[in-house]
Structure formats: structure tokens, C-alpha cells
Amino acid sequence: MENIGLKTIDIIVPCYNEGENIDMFFNETQGVISSITGYSFRYIFIDDGSCDDTLEKIKGLDNHVKIKYISFSRNFGKEAAMYAGLRASRGDYAVIIDADLQHPPGLMAEMIETIEETGCDSCAARRVSRKGEPRLRSLFARAFYRIMNRYSDIEILDGAVDFRMMNRKMVRAIVSMPENQRFSKGIFAWVGFDTRWIEFENVKRISGESKWSVWSLTKYAIDGFIDFAASPLKFVGVFGSVTAIGSVLYLVIEILKTLIMGKDIPGYASTICLILFFGGLITTVLSVMGEYIGRMYMETKGRPIYIEKESNIDED
């Protein structure tokens, strides 16, 4: 029976090979939302092309609760999974949360309370510590936030995670940006709206290993920086101008030296070093420009962000 008059909340859960965590996540989350009155909850699980029994576990959850799912034809990534969940959401609010319980479900009650009391559009979670995380990874993350906030047009708080609750207005704004190369942390900041933050301590995975390798995190950081910062292209222009001016000055100096001191015999080693140095810089500049052009090329193809293989949402 529908809970008429209650506000609805969609709990969006991106999953990739989380079969061993689904039951624990569901039981803990159910324990939290069962104590929250005045709201009707619905789960939207996104199976991101998992290779294990994630989809079977989702289908086997309690039928007395609204369980919806979308299964991708392959692994399209968490960004695509979050977009699919937000696109399928029809609730008054939408919550994005991970299935590995690194995002404490108990914070949802505080998010609801914050939104209702302040009237804000979004309430997001932010880690205040990285306890248990490899030191190198922590240093890399902090450096990324500093660089991102300095050179991009948006500001992302250090420790901000994808775990957040948003109202329908903000969800619609995010879904209206169907770009293929997605960086949701940047998109959440770019669309604006009034966001309040809840701090929490870092939580270890309940089981299994993180799907984020050093390389995937590095690639994700580069994607985010390029998607929301034009600084590399500006640097290319500045570098070209400085190089041109320096070349002219060097030419003038060499002409004056020749006129005053006579013809000089150039050194072979210094010439080779200069050629290699500027050759490397030029290659780097072309790589940066090529990265932007390549992204433009991929966007113009108009490929879908994800391909749906199976879903029970149409049953509504």
C-alpha cells in the first residue's frame, strides 16, 4: 500500500562486485530507516556490470520493501552508475550511498534533519580523517583538492565524498548535464544550490578490497581536473609566449656577442640538451592540448553514458 502524503526518498546504491556486502548493507540501512517516521523509502540499486552474484543478491532482498535495480551491460564506472540512479529517481529526495558501508547509513537521519531544519537543497558527508588509508594515497588526495580548488572554477571541500542527500530540484539540475566524461564531485559543486556538510570519521570496508587502484584514482583525478579547469590550456599559451620572448632575447644577445667578441664556436652538448629540453616541453604541450581535443571528440560522438541490460523499474 502506498504511503500517501509521506515524502519519498530514493536510496541510490552503486554496486560493483559487492555481492558479499549487499545483505549487510541492506540490513543495517533498514535498521536506520525503520526508525525514521514521516518518509517513504525506495532502494535503487545500480549493478555496474558486476562479475559476481551482486545482481542475484539484490533480487533476493526483502520483497516487502521497494527494491528497484538497473543492471548495466558491462562495467561503465561509478560515475555512470550514480547518473543512472539519479535519472531513475522520482522521490522528493535522493540519497547516494556506497554498498560497502564506508558511508555510514546512520548519517541519513542527520541529513534529513538538517535539510528539514535549514531548508537547504543538499546535505553532504565529508571525511575529517583518513585513518586506515595508505599514507601515499592520503597525500595524493590532499594534493588533488589543493590543486583543484586553486586552478578550477569550482571549490570542493577536502574529504568530500559522494554520500549526500539532494532535493528534486538539485537532482534535476544534475541529470540535465548528460556529459559523457563525468566527475560528480565537480558537478555537485558546479550546479550550486545550498549545501550543508556533515563530518564523519573514515570507515573501513566491511569486506573485500577497494575497487580503486592507484592508477584508477590518478586517472579519476586527471579527469576531474581537466573537466573543470582550463588552466592547463592557459599554461600552454603562457609557456609559448615566454618561450618566444626568451628566444628573441637570446637571439639579440648572440648577435651582440658576435659583433663585440667575434664569431663564437657553439658547443655540441649544450645544443643537444636544448633540443631535447624544448622537444620534451613541446611534446608535453601537445599532449595537454590533445587531452582536451580528445575529450571534445568523445563528447561529439554522443554515445550513451551507460547501457541498460536489465531493470525492474519499468514495472512501475
Q: Please state, in angstroms and rounded to a whole number, the distance separating the CA atoms of residues 218 and 140.
A: 9
295 CB neighbour count, 10 Å cutoff: 16
In three-state secondary structure terms, 131 is: coil
Convert the pLDDT of each residue in 206-231 to its tens digit.
555 555 555 666 666 666 666 656 56
pTM of the predicted protein model: 0.73
At residue 185 the predicted structure's pLDDT band, cuts being 50, 70 and 90, is confident
Q: Please state, in angstroms and rounded to a whole number, the distance separating the CA atoms of residues 306 and 83.
A: 9
Given a cut of 60, whether residue 270 has pLDDT beyond it is: no
Select the more confidently predicted residue: 182 or 295: 182
Cβ atoms 58, 69 nearer than 8 A? yes
At residue 167 the predicted structure's pLDDT band, cuts being 50, 70 and 90, is very high
Burial of 232 from C-beta contacts in 10 A (0-12 / 13-18 / 19+): middle
Q: What is the pLDDT of residue 96?
A: 94
Q: What is the pLDDT of residue 220?
A: 62
Q: What is the pLDDT of residue 1?
A: 41
Given a cut of 90, whether residue 253 has pLDDT beyond it is: no
Q: Which own/partner pairs from 141-150 qualify as long-range (CB within 8 Å, at least 24 positions apart)? A: 144/221, 144/224, 144/225, 147/225, 148/186, 148/224, 148/225, 148/228, 148/229
Mean pLDDT of 145-155: 68
Convert the pLDDT of each residue in 93-143 to its tens digit.
999 999 888 888 889 999 999 998 998 999 998 887 766 566 666 676 676
User: What is the pLDDT of the chain when averaged over all its residues?
Assistant: 78
* Cα–chain center distance at 103: 15
Q: What is the pLDDT of residue 271?
A: 65
Stretch (H or E) spanning 249 = helix 231-261
